[in-house]
Amino acid sequence: MNGFQIVTERLVLTPLGTAYLDSVNEYALDYENTRYMCHLPKQDSDETLSFLKDVDAEWQKDSPGFYEFALLYANDHIGSVSVYFENGVGELGWIIKRKYWGNGFATEAAKGLVDHFSKWGHRRFIAHCDTENIASFRVMEKLGMTRTGKSGGRKNRAATEESFEYQYELEV
């Protein structure tokens, strides 16, 4: 794997991939953990595996278009964090296993990504969340991001109807 690690105060961000199938399934198949997510919950372990194979393939590229990291806390895989680049803008995303919610791990991991990729010259980051996902937009605010929009038409995978989403931005 061509990946690299990012180390924060409490976390090790290491390349996500098929080796983490079982621990990803712990949150990717959990409705409560994913109810505000557009691409989750996964339908089954096979769908998770397909996604992780795509992640493995992306890590093998000389210039990946996105980076998905497993979050390790005391050697336990507690979630993931990602940055997807398009036109020089990095879109941040994260998910934390429910039993680890409320401990600042998403903020710490996302800050680790911003700090790392800003050293590579990336200066603009965005993030989106369902307007009802208070914990997620609080992470964005703790990162110093500014709310720049609210729009309709968001379709969370587990939802039966569309909802609204916020967009946040950060210039570093």
Percent of the chain that is helix, strand, coil (3-state, to 5):
35, 35, 35
Edge-to-edge strand ranges of the sheet holding 89-96:
6-7, 11-15, 66-73, 76-86, 89-96, 124-130, 163-171, 146-154
17's tokens: 């991939």
What is this structure's pTM? Answer: 0.93
Domain ranges of the chain: 6-122
**For the segment 142-172, what is each residue's pLDDT rounded down to a tens digit?**
999 999 999 888 876 777 788 899 999 999 9
In this prediction, residue 33 carries a pLDDT of: 80
Give the Cα separation of 65 and 128 in Å (integer). Answer: 18
Other CB atoms within a 10 A radius of the CB of residue 102 amount to: 10
Pick the CATH number of 6-122 from 3.20.20.70, 2.40.40.20, 3.40.50.970, 3.40.630.30: 3.40.630.30
In this prediction, residue 64 carries a pLDDT of: 94
In this prediction, residue 1 carries a pLDDT of: 45
Give the torsion through C-alpha atoms of 26, 97, 124, 166, to 10 deg.
Answer: 100
For the chain, the C-alpha Rg in angstroms (whole number) is: 15
Shortest CA distance to 90 belongs to which of 68, 70, 107?
68
Give the Cα separation of 118 and 68 in Å (integer). Answer: 17
Mean pLDDT by 10 residues, the chain (172 residues): 87 97 93 80 86 96 95 97 95 96 97 96 96 94 97 79 93 96
CA angle 76, 105, 70 (to 5 degrees): 45
In this prediction, residue 115 carries a pLDDT of: 97
